[in-house]
Amino acid sequence: MEFSLCSLDCALPVEVTLDEDNGRYMIRKSDSSGEFFNTPHELILWIKSNFSPEEFCDPNEFQVMVNALTDYLINPTY
């Protein structure tokens, strides 16, 4: 599952990748730096701790992503 969210602080989007098949759990932030994680749980915890809806062009889009990621934790066969 991949998400690309428009960020208010830069023209580059924030990209979130949760790829269970290939073991890729990462975030590319709008400043082009990144974060890599060992598990989907770590990725989701980091997002909830470090991002807020107000940082994005469409705060609802951020919430939809968080909900989808949280649902994935509950039902990993998403």
Tens-of-pLDDT digits for all 78 residues of the chain?
A: 999 999 998 889 999 999 999 999 999 998 889 999 999 999 999 999 999 999 999 999 999 999 999 999 898 765
pTM beyond 0.75: yes
Q: Token pair for residue 75?
A: 């039902």
DSSP the chain: -EEEE-BTT-SSPEEEEEETTTTEEEEE-TTS-EEE-SSHHHHHHHHHHH--GGGBS-HHHHHHHHHHHHHHHH-TT-
Q: Which of 35, 14, 13 is nearest to 24 (CA)?
A: 35
Point out which residues pair with 30 in neighbouring strands: none
